[in-house]
Chains A and B, each alone.
Chain A
Amino acid sequence: ETGVTQSPTHLIKTRGQQVTLRCSSQSGHNTVSWYQQALGQGPQFIFQYYREEENGRGNFPPRFSGLQFPNYSSELNVNALELDDSALYLCASSLAGRSYNEQFFGPGTRLTVL
């Protein structure tokens, strides 16, 4: 069973640029959630995708957008990067449809905005 993977591991961008982060779900999972974890803080929910549709969104501006593909992998896109976007971005996959569906986290992408 393949776990959740994310790419790239680290990324450095400058303010105003755009970035795309990628996530491959654990085998058999159909739901992906994205979280932003600022240094020394807990993760904050960005949004969730289920069967290629956005299925809930946290308090993040529209310049944070996402996609989920038919194979359930996912992308997080951030436009017009700001310094405060510097953080660890985590994705988590799960299998919807059960009464309880554990989320399995990837190792994260560390984004630095200069």
Chain B
Amino acid sequence: AQTVTQSQPEMSVQEAETVTLSCTYDTSESDYYLFWYKQPPSRQMILVIRQEAYKQQNATENRFSVNFQKAAKSFSLKISDSQLGDAAMYFCAYRSAGGANSKLTFGKGITLSVRP
């Protein structure tokens, strides 16, 4: 079974600064997807960024980028130029690429606060 670990329960960043959120995972599969989801307080969970395991290049979406280390099974999220609207809970998630369904396995999440 796959597991996702987010060991930092909370982090804080100054507005306009850069912050990195950590995630490790465990799997015996070679083909899979990794995701970072954002869940603002009392609002819907939205996809921030995804990474296909077969791609060596790290994914980037505007101010959000990942550092994907497949051998180390590490998948961190970097948020540049942090904004007040980035304050939320962030979840790292795993999905098999070849499975019969699109089940997501989530970590426990990290609460990010942004200081003005």
Given known A-B contacts A42-B107, A42-B108, A43-B91, A96 and B44 have beta carbons under 8 A apart = no
B57-65, B72-80, B97-105 - the one binding chain A: B97-105
Do A105 and B45 contact each other (CB < 8 Å), given the known contacts A42-B107, A42-B108, A42-B109? yes
Expressed in whole angstroms, the Cα–Cα distance for A102 and B102 within the complex equals 9
Q: Is the CB of B102 within 8 A of A31?
A: yes
Give the residue of B4, B44, B52 whose beta carbon is less than 8 angstroms from that of A106.
B44
Contact A48 B101 (CB under 8 A): yes
Is the beta-carbon distance between B106 and A44 smaller than 8 angstroms? yes
Q: Which of B47, B104, B106, B107 has the most CB of A within 10 A?
A: B104
Secondary structure class of chain B's binding surface, majority of residues? loop
Query: What total count of A-B pairs have CB within 8 Å?
Result: 60
The segment from A14-22, A50-58, A60-68, A69-77 found at the interface with B is A50-58
A101 within 8 A of B: yes
Residues of chain B lying within 8 A (CB to CB) of residue A33: 101-104
Interface residues of A in 72-114 (CB under 8 A from B): 90, 92, 94, 96, 100-103, 105-108
Asked whether A48 and B106 contact (CB < 8 A) given A106-B44, A107-B43, the answer is no
**Contact-residue size bin, chain A (C-beta under 8 Å from the other chain):** 20 to 34
Interface residues in B76-116 (C-beta closer than 8 Å to A): 91, 93, 99-109
Q: List 26 A-B contacts (CB under 8 A).
A: A4-B44, A33-B101, A33-B103, A40-B108, A41-B108, A42-B6, A42-B91, A42-B107, A42-B108, A42-B109, A43-B45, A45-B105, A48-B101, A48-B103, A56-B100, A90-B45, A92-B104, A94-B102, A100-B50, A101-B102, A103-B102, A103-B104, A105-B44, A105-B46, A107-B43, A108-B44
